[in-house]
Amino acid sequence: DQQVKQNSPSLSVQEGRISILNCDYTNSMFDYFLWYKKYPAEGPTFLISISSIKDKNEDGRFTVFLNKSAKHLSLHIVPSQPGDSAVYFCAAANTGRRALTFGSGTRLQVQP
């Protein structure tokens, strides 16, 4: 079941530069998308979300973009900081089925 896909298992960027994490989905019933960050030995932590009626949502250094026609979303982190180094999970849900479907995650390494 690959309804939510994160095709890049890892990403390395320099401190201060932009990090772009990508996510694709196949289920057109999804109408809400979220990004979670996960450090080792901790549970996923909610970062930012976007509903399908929007194409952009911004919160500080984090911006999520949604392209519904392409079934693609991305998370931009700018400027990237070493503390952002973690695994980032994309997740999706629909109004009828509240359970989240997660992608496989992208490990972000921000180099000082």
CB closer to other proteins, 65 vs 102? 102
User: How far is residue 14 from each of residues 24, 27, 38, 112, measured CA to CA in Å?
Assistant: 25, 34, 20, 6
Token readout for 87 is: 């695994």
Residue ranges in contact with other proteins by CB under 8 A: 32, 34, 36, 41-46, 49, 89, 93, 95, 97-105
Shortest distance in whole angstroms from residue 15 CB to other proteins: 27
Alpha carbon 104 to chain centroid distance?
11
CB closer to other proteins, 11 vs 93? 93
Shortest distance in whole angstroms from residue 60 CB to other proteins: 17
Shortest distance in whole angstroms from residue 102 CB to other proteins: 4
Do 5 and 106 meet the contact criterion of CB atoms below 8 Å apart?
A: no
Shortest distance in whole angstroms from residue 76 CB to other proteins: 20
Neighbouring C-alpha atoms within 13 Å toward the C-beta of 48? 19
Q: Which amino acid is at 26?
A: T
In three-state secondary structure terms, 43 is coil
CB closer to other proteins, 19 vs 105? 105
CB closer to other proteins, 54 vs 97? 97
